[in-house]
């Protein structure tokens, strides 16, 4: 039965004895029934899927997932529990979590607590025991859509759930950044996790310090750690910070972070970024990349089901080299719109799956950005060199060189 003519289609999963029934209803009328873990709650959000085979704690704590119900394609989730070191923010940020098989007895010496209790304390509902393959195929074929997840035993009627899903708002036009950005500026100086007794080798970065203002659109902690590794003294500021206030810190450079939702809906940011891009070296990641594209006169568009996972192929057009990238976004910069805007900007990287823009660089100013996540948390480390490339661009700019984003983007990766 097609999504268009679905009506209310119930796709039951398994509900073990001793646990409560839980459901996920999609706006197209499909209802998946399984069992509850996490909080007893009802939540709305855009339903998407993530193909990562590891790093579920980093995913549930990534602020970029605010407003979304995340489905994991990997079958067993929860087997290593959660711990304080792996969180990408203060706690879970997503609207709901859907898995095939939930394991609540973690087998890891690093675990501080099980996943179920972690979600329960944060008020996030979890659904397990459904056919996640069916759900992923539906999203892949029909596109991401709004859904309602309910672990409330008193709200399990399929028709009522579908009715609520049909009227629930999506991501378009909503400023989700306002809900996750920091309230006040703060300094960040934590470096990468050194492992047990220093077993993780830490390569020394630049010794000369550079001042950096990082805009928090939903910033991940591992991004901050890698910026510190590159010798930056990082001041994180709220998304609403004006260009004048950001410049009052006398930074050597500006960073635009990742974040959730529709980039065109983030209030007031485009104008600030447009001003800052004319005065300081600038690097953007994910939502920061999209906002930069908008600030330079481009447009963004919604993808059918987005890119969420650690296996996206991004090609560097200067070298032809392909990096396997971690990505998490539902919108993309429209390449043609940049050309129409007349700004001297190069598309530096593309996604080989669908040809969408993965990187931008300015031909006259020290500005570049990437759509993917070079901090790789979770994901591969193929693109980690970009933090070093950013530091090099800042150093050369400070030294008085007329370095551009396009020139630094053509530099060797190693």
Which residues are known catalytic residues? 286, 373, 375
Burial 66-75 (b: 16+ CB within 10 A, else e): bbbbbbbbbe
Pairwise CA distance, residues 112 & 70, whole Å = 23
Spatial contact of 383 and 289, defined as CB atoms under 8 Å apart: no
Q: What count of residues does the chain have?
A: 414
Burial of 163 (0-12, 13-18, 19+ CB in 10 A): middle
Spatial contact of 398 and 252, defined as CB atoms under 8 Å apart: yes
Q: What is the number of alpha carbons within 13 Å of residue 110 lying toward its C-beta?
A: 14
Spatial contact of 346 and 361, defined as CB atoms under 8 Å apart: yes
Distance of CA 65 to the CA centre of its chain: 6
Alpha helices in 181-334 (DSSP H): 221-229, 243-247, 269-276, 287-295
CB-based contacts of 27, cutoff 8 Å, min separation 6: 145, 146, 147, 162, 165, 166, 168
Distance of CA 93 to the CA centre of its chain: 11
């Amino acid at each position: 039965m097609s999504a268009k003519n679905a009506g209310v289609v119930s796709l039951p999963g398994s509900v073990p004895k001793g646990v409560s029934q839980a459901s996920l209803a999609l706006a197209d009328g499909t209802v998946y029934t399984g069992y509850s873990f996490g909080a007893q709650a009802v939540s709305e959000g855009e339903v998407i899927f993530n193909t990562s085979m590891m790093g579920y704690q980093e995913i549930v704590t990534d602020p970029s997932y605010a407003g979304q119900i995340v489905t994991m394609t990997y079958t067993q989730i929860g087997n290593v529990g959660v711990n304080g070191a792996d969180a990408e923010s203060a706690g879970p940020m997503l609207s709901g979590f859907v898995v095939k098989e939930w394991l609540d007895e973690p087998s890891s010496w690093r675990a501080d607590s099980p996943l179920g209790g972690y979600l329960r304390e944060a008020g996030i509902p979890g659904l397990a025991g459904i056919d996640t393959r069916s759900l992923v195929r539906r999203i892949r074929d029909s596109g991401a859509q709004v859904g309602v997840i309910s672990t409330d035993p008193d709200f399990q009627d399929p028709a009522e759930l579908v009715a609520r899903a049909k009227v629930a708002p999506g991501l378009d036009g909503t400023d989700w950044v306002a809900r996750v950005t920091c309230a006040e500026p703060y300094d960040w100086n934590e470096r990468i996790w050194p492992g047990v007794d220093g077993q993780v080798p830490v390569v020394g970065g630049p010794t000369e310090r550079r001042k950096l203002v990082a805009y928090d659109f939903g910033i991940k902690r591992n991004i901050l750690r890698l910026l510190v590794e590159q010798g930056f003294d990082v001041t994180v500021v709220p998304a609403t910070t004006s260009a004048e206030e950001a410049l009052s810190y006398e930074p050597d450079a500006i960073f635009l972070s990742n974040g959730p939702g529709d980039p065109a809906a983030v209030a007031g940011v485009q104008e600030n970024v447009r001003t800052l891009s004319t005065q300081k070296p600038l690097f953007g990641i994910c939502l920061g990349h999209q906002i930069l594209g908008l600030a330079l006169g481009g447009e963004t568009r919604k993808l059918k089901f987005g890119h969420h996972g650690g296996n996206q192929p991004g090609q560097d057009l200067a070298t032809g080299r392909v990096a396997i990238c971690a990505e998490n976004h539902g919108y993309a910069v429209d390449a043609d719109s940049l050309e129409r805007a007349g700004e001297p900007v190069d598309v530096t990287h593309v996604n080989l799956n669908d040809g969408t823009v993965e990187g931008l660089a300015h031909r006259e100013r020290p500005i570049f950005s990437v759509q993917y996540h070079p901090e790789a948390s979770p994901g591969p480390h193929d693109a980690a060199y970009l933090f070093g490339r950013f530091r090099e661009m800042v150093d050369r700019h400070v030294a008085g060189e007329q370095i551009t984003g396009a020139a630094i983007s053509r530099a060797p990766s190693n």
